């Protein structure tokens, strides 16, 4: 008796051979495969049916490419990940599926199919149509050979969307660069002392303040190299401040004289806080350093000679390290620093700083797409990391604020 064309040699119908209740399982069962190179499901070899069912019922984005033409079948997770790119894809060859991307991956597929070599691609960027008109997505994918009676007959592929991780790493790199630029503009250096080893890790700004090779400081140098550049009268006060910081958990800020290397000295403000391990033991002291030589000189002059950068009553509401930060950065933010007015509003949640600048300086202070003010807020985040008190900042036009007061 001649078997029905809807029944395989094993006696199972096409519907019975493809298992699962997923959308893609239904599409595979109902697809007219006889018009493709694979032929009807009833004639598929056992290895192909097993591989298709494995992919369709996988919780990860899985697919297979079958035969010399690498005919494509995938599961629901793959469709969700690749979006509109996978419209009308069943039965397509890998070359037609990948389209403009095929030259970049063909060699990998051929190596798996010809030599049985597995392959993994990490963070590979592709542009597919998804929620947005054109999204760049980053995949990590693996290609593994499928064997039937000792020969490679297809490729099993898994896919992992790494876009979130790649974007996060990119944003972190951009944030770190903004922080570096902001700290540089504010003449602020970063340092990190590991107590038990005595090693200090410092950025270029801090290294130059102490006449230390920046490359060596970046990889860690002995704290003795920093100490030997201090004025002898300032070693004990700095040591006492750091010990107090470690024992009390409070931040410290102290000004010390640092040898320039030619016998003259600059004033450096050292600010820091202690970091404790999970057992409450101190293991690091980290913070910022800034050159306050000009500030110290201005403070030694009569008050009237300091200019009109900011009202003295506003300064008095800020700690010394915040005064140093603002004095060091504000001249870089505007063309008319003498027109800046400062409003400081302390409350239980922290201190709100409002910078009121000349109307002509507002655009520069905020920066293109808000980049300048974001960089300045990044500095504040670094300062916030030193102690428990929090600072926030806003910039507005003096013309607007003055009219509101009127």
Question: Which residue ranges make up each domain of the chain?
Answer: 14-161, 179-297, 304-406
- Between CA 113 and CA 90 the distance in angstroms is 20
Give the residues of the chain that fall short of pLDDT 50.
Answer: 1-11, 129-134, 302-312, 386, 403, 405-406
List the structure tokens of 239: 């040591």
Nearest to 373 by CA among 395, 357, 350, 390: 395
- Residue 330 contacts residue 309 (beta carbons within 8 Å): yes
Going by their DSSP bridges, the two strands 61-66 and 265-276 should be labelled as: unpaired
CA angle 162, 172, 217 (to 5 degrees): 130
**What local confidence, expressed as pLDDT, does residue 406 receive?**
45
Q: What confidence score (pLDDT) does residue 302 get?
A: 46
Tens digit of each residue's pLDDT (9 = 90 or more) over 48-79 = 999 999 999 999 999 999 999 999 999 999 88
| Tokens found for residue 309 | 């950068």
Neighbours of 178 (CB within 10 A): 18
Nearest Cα to 285, choosing from 151, 192, 350? 192
Could you tell me if 356 and 396 are in contact, meaning their C-beta atoms sit under 8 angstroms apart?
yes
CATH architecture of residue range(s) 179-297 = 2-Layer Sandwich (3.30)
DSSP label at residue 4: P
Same fold: 14-161 with 304-406: no
71 close to 37: Cβ distance less than 8 angstroms: yes
The span from the CA of 325 to the CA of 316, in Å, is 14
Q: What is the pTM of this model?
A: 0.45
pLDDT in tens, 191-230: 899 998 999 999 888 999 999 999 999 899 999 999 999 9
> Which alpha helices (H) appear in 100-194, and where do they start and end?
102-115, 163-185
- What pLDDT shows up at residue 229? 93
Say which CATH topology domain 304-406 has: GMP Synthetase; Chain A, domain 3 (3.30.300)
CATH class of the domain comprising 14-161: alpha beta
pLDDT at 312: 45
311 DSSP β-pair partners: none
> Sign of the C-alpha dihedral, residues 128, 131, 135, 141?
negative
Q: From CA 399, how far away is CA 374, in angstroms rounded? A: 23
Could you tell me the two tokens for 140? 């990590």
Average pLDDT, the chain: 78
């Amino acid at each position: 008796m001649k078997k029905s064309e809807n029944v395989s040699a094993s006696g199972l119908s096409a519907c019975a051979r493809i298992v699962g209740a997923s959308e893609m399982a239904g599409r595979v069962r109902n697809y007219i495969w006889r018009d493709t190179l694979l032929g009807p499901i009833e004639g598929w070899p056992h290895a192909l049916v097993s591989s298709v069912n494995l992919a369709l019922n996988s919780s990860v984005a899985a697919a297979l490419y079958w035969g010399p033409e690498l005919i494509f079948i995938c599961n629901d997770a793959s469709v969700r990940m690749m979006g509109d790119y996978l419209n009308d894809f069943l039965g397509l060859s890998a070359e037609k599926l990948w389209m403009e991307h095929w030259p970049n991956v063909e060699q990998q597929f051929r190596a798996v199919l010809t030599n049985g070599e597995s392959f993994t691609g990490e963070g590979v960027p592709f542009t597919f149509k998804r929620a947005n008109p054109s999204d760049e997505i980053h995949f990590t994918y693996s290609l593994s050979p499928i064997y039937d009676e000792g020969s490679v007959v297809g490729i099993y592929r898994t896919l992992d969307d790494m876009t979130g991780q790649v974007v996060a790493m990119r944003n972190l790199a951009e944030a770190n660069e903004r922080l570096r630029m902001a700290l540089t503009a504010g003449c602020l250096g970063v340092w990190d002392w590991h107590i038990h080893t005595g090693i200090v890790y410092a950025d270029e700004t801090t290294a130059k303040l102490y006449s230390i090779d920046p490359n060596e400081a970046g990889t860690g140098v002995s704290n003795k190299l920093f100490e030997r550049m201090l004025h002898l009268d300032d070693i004990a006060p700095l040591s006492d401040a750091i010990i107090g910081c470690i024992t009390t958990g409070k931040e410290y800020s102290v000004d010390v004289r640092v040898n320039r290397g030619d016998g003259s000295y600059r004033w450096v403000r050292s600010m820091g806080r202690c970091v404790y391990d999970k057992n409450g033991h101190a293991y690091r002291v980290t913070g910022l350093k800034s050159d306050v030589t000009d500030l110290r000189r201005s403070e030694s002059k009569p008050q009237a000679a300091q200019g009109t950068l900011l009202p003295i009553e506003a300064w008095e509401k800020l700690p010394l390290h915040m005064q140093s930060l603002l004095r060091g950065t504000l001249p870089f933010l505007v063309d008319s620093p003498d027109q800046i007015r400062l409003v400081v509003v302390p409350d239980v949640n922290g201190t709100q700083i409002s910078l009121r600048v000349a109307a002509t300086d507002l655009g520069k202070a905020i920066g293109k797409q808000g980049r300048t003010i974001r960089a300045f807020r990044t500095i504040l985040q670094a300062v916030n990391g030193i102690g428990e008190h929090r600072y926030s900042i806003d910039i507005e036009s003096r013309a607007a604020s003055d009219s509101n007061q009127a």
